[in-house]
């Protein structure tokens, strides 16, 4: 069975690279670690809850992308490949769970923005919540798209496995049966000839989606101080 642990450990301590651009987005960090201005404690609690989920998701998506790029799926047998993919599906599932938790925090921040009597803080808090909410939405979407793509591939592989067993146990002896099986094959496309190529393509899609995530997190970081200060 393939072990994904070495990749996970190596990447857990290495932040994902920011997208290439003339201006790097501001890194998203927890609020209140090092600062001298008064903070709005209640707001910070909810903000940090959402930020923690976003940062956890960043790490998980980076690990997922690295494993998709570096695992030699074509050398694995059916069971080994299934186990490796199930592990990655769990990682994607954790992103969706974190996203749901963060959505509750974002909703609370937006309510604070609506009820704020300070126009400046209202605008800053809304901008912060919208940007961070956008990043979390993109993360959840990336995980969902990964899970959809993998589910389609697994469905095709399962169908081929069933078809191969049926053909083995019931050999084709006439043209009519051959045409019937050909029709079944047309109804359910075969899995990819190269799993490595298919998984590298999924990794590229995740990398493309990460560009928008990092940009949204940068906007949230730019508004984080003003949104949570001065209470």
User: Three-state secondary structure along 118-152?
Assistant: CHHHHHHHHHHHHHHHHHHHHHHHHHHHHHHHHHH
Q: Which of 108-112, 138-142, 149-153, 206-210 has the lowest mean pLDDT?
A: 149-153
pLDDT at 156: 74
Closest CA to 81 of 202, 201, 194: 194
pLDDT at 204: 95
Say if residue 212's pLDDT is above 90: yes
- Write out pLDDT tens, residues 87-96: 999 999 999 9
Say if residue 32's pLDDT is above 80: no
- Write out pLDDT tens, residues 38-57: 668 899 999 999 999 999 99
Say if residue 175's pLDDT is above 70: no
Token pair for 142? 């990336």
């Amino acid at each position: 069975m393939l072990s994904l642990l070495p990749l996970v450990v190596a990447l857990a301590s290495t932040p994902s690279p920011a997208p290439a651009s003339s201006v790097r987005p501001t890194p998203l960090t927890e609020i209140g670690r090092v600062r001298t201005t008064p903070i709005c404690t209640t707001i910070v609690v909810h903000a940090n809850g959402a930020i923690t989920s976003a940062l956890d998701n960043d790490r998980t998506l980076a690990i997922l992308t690295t494993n998709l790029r570096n695992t030699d799926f074509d050398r694995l047998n059916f069971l080994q490949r299934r186990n490796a993919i199930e592990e990655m599906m769990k990682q994607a599932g954790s992103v969706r769970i974190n996203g749901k938790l963060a959505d509750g925090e974002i909703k609370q921040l937006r309510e604070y923005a609506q009820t704020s009597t300070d126009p400046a803080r209202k605008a800053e808090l809304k901008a912060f919540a919208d940007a961070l909410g956008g990043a979390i939405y993109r993360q959840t979407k990336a995980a969902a798209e990964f899970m959809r793509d993998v589910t389609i591939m697994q469905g095709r592989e399962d169908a081929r496995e069933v078809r191969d067993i049926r053909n083995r146990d019931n050999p084709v002896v006439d043209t009519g049966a051959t045409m019937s099986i050909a029709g079944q094959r047309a109804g359910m496309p075969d899995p990819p000839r190269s799993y490595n190529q298919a998984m590298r393509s999924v990794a590229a899609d995740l990398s493309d989606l990460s560009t928008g995530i990092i940009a949204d997190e940068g906007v949230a970081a730019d508004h984080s101080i003003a949104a949570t200060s001065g209470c």
